[in-house]
Amino acid sequence: MEHKILVWLPSPMGDAILSTPALRAIRSHFKNSKITFYGNKVVHKILSPGKFNDAWLQQHNKNIFKTSAVLKQQHFSLAILFKNSFASALDCFLARIPARIGYAREARSLFLTEKIIPPRLPDGKFKPASMLDYYLTIAHCLGCQTKDRSLELLIDPQDIIAIKDKFPFLNSKSGPVVIIVPGGAFGPSKCWPSERFAQTIDRLVSKYKATAIISVSQSAAEKRIASEICAAGKNKPVNLSDSPLTIGQLKELFSLADLVITNDTGPRHIAIAFKRNIITLFGPNDPAWTESDWQNEIKIVGKAPCAPCMKPVCKEKQHYCMEDITVDAVCNAADKFLTQAQTL
């Protein structure tokens, strides 16, 4: 049966990338249906170009009545809600989309025609489970085949050209390219200390002649972190806050990295989608929420009595979990990837 399908995507970049296995499964199952993605500007850019949908509707505001009016004009027959919000379900209900599937949470069950019950712990909290599988469960309930759990992103050819022009040294590098992701949209609680990133860069430059690139957003907080790292180290990395990239260009740059060292934040999943070697630093968040089973990822989890707290801002006198992660631990993990690369 042909459908006109709306897929309401999650808002965070990382979650959007983690949804790609489910999006692939939905596309494969509904081959003859028109699939329209609905999401914010960042999600639109990270998933474009793409082969899992036929059209895009970009979210421009959060006004329920304006959004439902836009959706109603499209005459969708099925709404697939990856977004967990109350408003997303209400919008689809007001748009009179006859079939609406999503998780029964945020007091929105009344607006869903097919409800999926999220697993909970005895204390009522949601059971930690990968968002990758969380979205695949929705696809499974629609009858899709969901065995393929690999993340997937595509790159626009124009972005390949742009990166070659912007960073010509990548074509004649003498050592590995190491991308450092020291920020995090979630909040400062996920951030490893700037001086430790600087020390890590110095050691990798000294030992491997690495080219270090600091990848941050253009937010004031992340630009400050990049400046702190540059000031604290002996070697000056390429600082992308001074030379900002589009999201498309960022994907191409990540696809060229020999190693990515990152806090638990959205660009981590870009690296995994392009099958890069990656070291991820965890503190306040449980790694179970974002597990992808990528074999070339080393997770370093900071230990603390208060972790995982899931709070964007640390409430303790000292940032115990992230400070528990040492420069030695990160560099030893880097050695496992870079030493192996040198012997190939």
Residue the block writes with tokens 């960042």:
42
Confidence grade of residue 234 (pLDDT, cut at 50, 70, 90): very high
Decide if pLDDT at 166 tops 60: yes
Least confident residue range of 157-166, 170-179, 216-225: 170-179
4-27 per-position pLDDT tens digit: 999 999 999 999 999 999 999 999
Over residues 103-118, the mean pLDDT reads 96
Instruction: Give the tokens for residue 2.
Output: 């042909």
27-69 per-position pLDDT tens digit: 999 999 999 999 999 999 999 999 999 999 999 888 899 999 9
Q: Output the pLDDT for position 2.
A: 79
Decide if pLDDT at 193 tops 90: yes
- How many Å apart are CA 8 and CA 68, to the nearest integer? 12
Over residues 181-201, the mean pLDDT reads 94
Confidence grade of residue 173 (pLDDT, cut at 50, 70, 90): confident
Decide if pLDDT at 257 tops 80: yes
Instruction: Give the tokens for residue 43.
Output: 């999600």
- 252-285 in b/e form (b: 16+ CB < 10 A) is bbbbbbbbbbbbbbbbbbbbbbbebbbbbbbbbb
Q: Are 78 and 99 in contact (CB under 8 A)?
A: yes
Please provide the DSSP assignment of 264-303 as one string. Answer: SSTHHHHHHHTT--EEEEESSS-GGGG----TTEEEEE--
Q: Output the pLDDT for position 26.
A: 98
Q: Output the pLDDT for position 176.
A: 95
Over residues 126-145, the mean pLDDT reads 96
- How many Å apart are CA 230 and CA 66, to the nearest integer? 45
Q: Output the pLDDT for position 110.
A: 96
Q: Are 258 and 344 in contact (CB under 8 A)?
A: no
Instruction: Give the tokens for residue 88.
Output: 């997303």
Q: Are 79 and 8 in contact (CB under 8 A)?
A: yes
Confidence grade of residue 341 (pLDDT, cut at 50, 70, 90): low
Q: At what angle do helices 220-232 and 194-208 cross, to 10 degrees?
A: 50
237-253 per-position pLDDT tens digit: 999 999 899 999 999 99
Half-sphere exposure of 246 (CA within 13 A, CB side): 17
Q: What is the DSSP letter of 128?
A: P
